[in-house]
Structure formats: structure tokens, C-alpha cells
Amino acid sequence: LALARPEPTMAPLLQAIHELPTSRRPFRIVSHEAEDGRVFNSTFFESAGHASEFLDWYDTNALQPSGRYHPCLSGAIAPGTELPTGNTLLFGRGAGVLDDTRFGEYQLGMAVRYSLATFHSAEMEREAVVTGTSSAFEQRLANAMMKEGIAYFGRLVMRVDEKRWITLSRYGSLPEAHAGTALVRTLCAEEMAHWFSSYETIIGTASRVLDI
């Protein structure tokens, strides 16, 4: 497992997270750098309850200007930018695993695409559970990636609610993540138009992996 040391300014915040009770902290945080210079994290929890407990703590102690660890974050952002609030922090939050075909460990430099899909209806979501999480569907993706020479390391599909999914797809590099994204949009164009009313993505290169 490739690891990178956190920035010194973040040390007090990370130490505080380490010292939280197990029921209030994540077990892994993966930091990413986007092409535009923004940084975002993917944070993993044992349960939805653990996630809620942590997010409440993080909002109070790190995001709020009065929070004890707010200087750790405010000192790390670019001039002229603002920190997110508790209401704007999350791109998406999955609470139920529908499919997980990931293999291998995170490595620094690996690129990850996060996709937030909104379905036309709950009926479309139920249809996608049957088709879009099947072994045949995943094999179709993997075979297409292999044919195009794209290093693809599987995906994690999670339900946000009855009309939204969030998907994490892992690639060997940033160019391969972009190529894989374009391939998926072409290969699955019919299904995506049929199922989704919107499909948002963010892509970042893994810059730090912290197991807590």
C-alpha cells in the first residue's frame, strides 16, 4: 500500500481524527488532486451511523470558523477561495454496496473517477440493479477496457437513495481515467440515456492514502 505523509498543517486535525472513538471515525481516507488543482477526499466508514457521527464532528470542529481545527483547513486553501460548509461538503454519499469488483490496493498516481447518477425514476433504479450490477455487465466493461489498452481496476457501486447511485471506478493513470470515461459513455450510451436523468463525474489522482 503506497502512503504519503500529510501536510504539516493538517497534523493536529488528523491526530484528532485518529483519537476519535471507533464509532465516530473513518477507517480510510484517500486524498485526490484534480486537474484544476482542487483537492478532495474519499472517506470510508464501517456504517452509515459512523459516517453521520463523523460528519457532525467534522462540521463543528473543522469547517466552522469557531472550530478548534479550523486553522488546519483555512491555512491550506488557496487565497480567495472558501471552505465548504457542512451542507456543501459532499459530492455524494453512498450507504449500501450494490457491486464491488475492485482489485489490488490503492497506489499513489492511480486515478479514480467518482460518478453521481440520478435515475429518471425508482423503477429505472430497480432495473439498473438487475442489469448494471451483473457480472455480465462488469465483464463487458472490463473486456472493452482491455481491448483499448486501458488499465482498469474495477469499480464500487453504492446506493445513495432510491433514485441515485455513486460509483467509484479505478484506473492506472489520469489519461486512462479520461479514456475509460469516454469509453463508458460510448459503450453504455443506450443504458445511460434510458436510466439516468443526470450523470456527474469528478476525477482525481490519488495523492495520499491514510488508514486510521
pLDDT tens readout for residues 12-42: 999 999 999 998 999 999 999 988 888 899 9
Q: In sequence order, which residues have a C-beta less than 8 Å from that of residue 210 and are 6 or more positions away?
A: 3, 6, 14, 28, 29, 30, 31
Residue range of the domain that includes 115: 1-212
Task: Give the model's confidence band at 201: pLDDT under 50 very low, under 70 low, under 90 confident, else very high.
Answer: very high
* Average pLDDT of the chain, as a whole number: 91
Please state the rounded mean pLDDT for residues 122-136: 95
Distances (CA, A) of 181 to 32, 144, 177: 17, 12, 6
Lowest mean pLDDT among 9-18, 117-126, 182-191: 9-18
Indicate if the pLDDT at residue 196 is higher than 50.
Answer: yes
Number of domains in the chain: 1
d(CA 141, CA 118): 20
Predicted confidence (pLDDT) per residue in 77-96, tens digit: 777 778 888 889 999 999 88
**How much of the chain, in percent, has pLDDT values that exceed 90?**
73
Half-sphere exposure of 76 (CA within 13 A, CB side): 19
Return the CATH number at 99.
Answer: 3.30.70.100
